[in-house]
Amino acid sequence: MRSSSILTVVVLCAAFAGCTHEAPTREAQSQPAAAPTKAPPTLAGRPGKAAIASAHALATEAGFEVIAKGGNAFDAAIAVGSVLSVVEPQSSGIGGGGFFLLHRAADGRDVFLDARETAPAASRSELWADADGKLDRDKSINGPISSGIPGEPAAYDWLAKHYGKLPLAESLAPAIRIAREGFPVYSRFNRSIGMRRPVLERWPAGKALFLPGGEIPAEGSLWSNPDLASTLERIAEHGATGFYRGEFAGRLVDAVAAAGGIWTREDLAAYVVKEREPITLDYRGWRIVTAPPPSSGGIALAEMFNILSGYDLAQRSRVERVHLTIEAMRRAYRDRAEYLGDPDYVKMPVAELTSPLYAAGLRASIHPSKATSSDALPGYMPPTEGEHTTHYSIMDADGNLAAVTKTVNLTLGSAFVVEGTGFVLNNEMDDFALLPGQPNAFGLVGGEANAPKSGRRPLSSMTPSFVIGEDRVGVIGTPGGSRIITMVLEGILAYLDGDEPKDVVARPRYHHQYLPDVVSAEPRAFTRDETKALTDMGHVVNEGERTWGLMNMVGWNRRTNTVGAGSDPREESSRADVR
């Protein structure tokens, strides 16, 4: 986006009818900008214990296993991540990518490792268009034409070389063992296979792997993946080179081409992870360290926290708090799609979007007791969600932190497996605006800033984050498509209110994303009276039957010197522990 349009937005927001009928709230007037009043807290000290929360018990266990062998949080991040790639292939894997937010205790460095997939060099919008110029949904999400160049293998190599204490082979050992020996099939795993069955059946290797004997593996039966064990062994022995170059890369390229994809050996050889500066924001004495572009999460979080910093939420009723939070969500999501893309290719007004001054303009447009209609806000940007990504949080005894969100995008990614490799390729190309203005699988639209061009990384919602206060430190994140960002916002607000990690992850959630102009709520998110009060303010509240997210959080209370961990009770495979 161009900076000028932001200013236009601020002016429009402050001016449009319905926004400024009443004077802004007292707090908003007295605190127009969110400038911190004192130095932000830093991460000092030593928890003395490790904490890990992930979507699968075997992955959490693998993290503790490598820590017991002398590894640190970053070795554990490899172990947990690679085991998730084995036991939760519906969510993430070697054929996908992710974001790794790291804090290194020894020198206090925060770094964001971007292992997002990249667009193959031959990418151009027409490849995903049908004869009428409309987005061909089958091509955007099924088979290798929907796959970006994976980032996860390069991430593990990088983590081991630059941050870990153990050789890569040792951190990958639990994943290799579990892939070879197998694990008990659980309901989310075989449900995912059922969902993707028709597409899996199109190509023999994926069909043989996920539908052995033509059947969905039975819950409780042992499912193994020796091909994936071999692929991981290859990476353990040769590092990223074993995946991105040579004979293995050639096999991937040939199989992708035979099934209609556009990968080349050069695309694979050119893949690199990027170290990026995290987005850092201060909110009421807390410091939040979070995901920069190509994630949209950190910028949206900064906008929402900056808006909310003008109100003393603790002094407000629950309904007022929810109303103000929804209005902050509405405004941040309006900006999200229009402006953001791969920072290496797109010039973005990050400083403006995350500035307290910009938030003050947005805040001035919030009516204290009336919902703003999304139609009244300029810009556009629709719906989404999903449960096919994974997040895990790690803290080691020395205070190293890792917040990792990784994905193959939709359930089982593209559902395409190259014979003999044991992993699905992602369908992350659908996170690009493949055709300008035409919605992707999440209903998200975009334009040039997120166009599928050679080497670019598609815009993401994944938002791994750290929350740092005087006394308490939290590591947080979740899957959930576009709902990720509001879940992380609500999770952080709950932590700031004093919740323990296990309570943060359990809290009922609500969500607003500008369009559709609806507040989605999990069952029990609001009382009947709260729903009525919000409805009276003009909010359309949609209390669904279903829940969303799979949040995993760890935390450390420096005052009481206690370490806590919580994994989302919405999913029974998840596991959090402290040792």
Nearer to ligand DON (CB atom), residue 390 or residue 531: 390
The verdict on 386 binding ligand DON (CB under 6 A) reads: yes
Q: Which stretch binds ligand DON (CB under 6 A): 230-238, 245-253, 362-370, 475-483?
A: 475-483
Going by C-alpha positions, the residue among 205, 209, 192, 212 that lies closest to residue 252 is 205
Nearer to ligand DON (CB atom), residue 239 or residue 481: 481
The verdict on 460 binding ligand DON (CB under 6 A) reads: yes
- Rounded least distance, CB 294 to ligand DON, Å: 9
**From 151, 164, 361, 479, residue interacting with ligand DON (rule: CB under 6 A):** 479
Q: Supply the DSSP symbol for 460.
A: B
Q: Which stretch binds ligand DON (CB under 6 A): 320-328, 370-378, 387-395, 412-420?
A: 387-395
Helices 57-68 and 73-87 sit at what angle, rounded to 10 degrees? 150
- Rounded least distance, CB 196 to ligand DON, Å: 14
- Rounded least distance, CB 96 to ligand DON, Å: 9
The verdict on 387 binding ligand DON (CB under 6 A) reads: yes
The number of beta carbons lying within 10 Å of the beta carbon of residue 508 is 12
325 phi-psi bin (left φ>0, alpha ψ -120 to 50, beta other):
alpha
Nearer to ligand DON (CB atom), residue 55 or residue 253: 55
The number of beta carbons lying within 10 Å of the beta carbon of residue 254 is 13
Nearer to ligand DON (CB atom), residue 386 or residue 566: 386
Nearer to ligand DON (CB atom), residue 95 or residue 386: 386
Nearer to ligand DON (CB atom), residue 141 or residue 313: 141
- Rounded least distance, CB 482 to ligand DON, Å: 7
Burial class, 277, CB count within 10 angstroms (exposed 0-12 / middle 13-18 / buried 19+)? exposed
Nearer to ligand DON (CB atom), residue 374 or residue 405: 405
The verdict on 389 binding ligand DON (CB under 6 A) reads: yes
Q: Which stretch binds ligand DON (CB under 6 A): 58-66, 76-84, 266-274, 382-390?
A: 382-390
Contact characters 92-131, ligand DON, x per CB under 6 A: ----------------------------------------
Q: Is the Cβ–Cβ distance between 491 and 507 less than 8 Å?
A: yes
Separation of alpha carbons 10 and 425, rounded Å: 42
Sequence-separated (6 or more) residues with CB below 8 Å from residue 347: none
Half-sphere exposure of 306 (CA within 13 A, CB side): 26
Nearer to ligand DON (CB atom), residue 261 or residue 386: 386
Tokens, residue 506: 């359990």
Site for ligand DON in 481-500 (CB under 6 A): 481, 484
CA distances from 213 to 143, 144, 180, 459 (A): 22, 24, 19, 38
Binders of ligand DON: how many residues, by CB under 6 A? 14
Q: Is the Cβ–Cβ distance between 429 and 452 less than 8 Å?
A: yes
- Rounded least distance, CB 526 to ligand DON, Å: 23
Nearer to ligand DON (CB atom), residue 120 or residue 386: 386
Site for ligand DON in 243-272 (CB under 6 A): none
Tokens, residue 252: 């991937």
- Rounded least distance, CB 515 to ligand DON, Å: 17
Q: Which stretch binds ligand DON (CB under 6 A): 43-51, 315-323, 327-335, 386-394?
A: 386-394
- Rounded least distance, CB 522 to ligand DON, Å: 15
Give the E-state strand segments of 79-191 in sequence order.
97-104, 109-115, 183-184
Preceding omega of 89 cis (within 30 degrees of 0): no
Q: SS3 letters for 473-530? A: EEEECCCCCCHHHHHHHHHHHHHHCCCCHHHHCCCCCEECCCCCCCEEECCCCCCHHH
The verdict on 306 binding ligand DON (CB under 6 A) reads: no
Helices 483-496 and 297-308 sit at what angle, rounded to 10 degrees? 40
Question: Over the range 311-327, which residues count as b (16 or more CB within 10 Å of their CB) and which as e?
Answer: bebeebeebbbbbbbbb
Q: Is the Cβ–Cβ distance between 418 and 205 less than 8 Å?
A: yes
Nearer to ligand DON (CB atom), residue 47 or residue 481: 481
- Rounded least distance, CB 152 to ligand DON, Å: 13
Active-site annotation holder among 231, 372, 389, 486: 389
> Is residue 37 flagged as an active site residue?
no
DSSP string of 323-341, one letter each residue: HHHHHHHHHHHHHHHHH--
**From 151, 480, 501, 564, residue interacting with ligand DON (rule: CB under 6 A):** 480
The verdict on 361 binding ligand DON (CB under 6 A) reads: no
Tokens, residue 335: 């900006």
- Rounded least distance, CB 426 to ligand DON, Å: 8
Give the E-state strand segments of 218-306 in sequence order.
222-223, 274-276, 279-283, 286-290
The verdict on 461 binding ligand DON (CB under 6 A) reads: yes
- Rounded least distance, CB 443 to ligand DON, Å: 12
Q: Supply the DSSP symbol for 310.
A: T
**From 227, 431, 568, 571, residue interacting with ligand DON (rule: CB under 6 A):** 431
Nearer to ligand DON (CB atom), residue 77 or residue 551: 551
**From 400, 407, 414, 486, residue interacting with ligand DON (rule: CB under 6 A):** 407
- Rounded least distance, CB 476 to ligand DON, Å: 15
Q: Is the Cβ–Cβ distance between 342 and 297 less than 8 Å?
A: no
Q: Which stretch binds ligand DON (CB under 6 A): 39-47, 252-260, 480-488, 530-538?
A: 480-488
CA distances from 398 to 68, 72, 446 (A): 13, 8, 42
Active site residues: 389
Contacts to ligand DON by CB under 6 A? 386-389, 407, 409, 431, 460-462, 479-481, 484
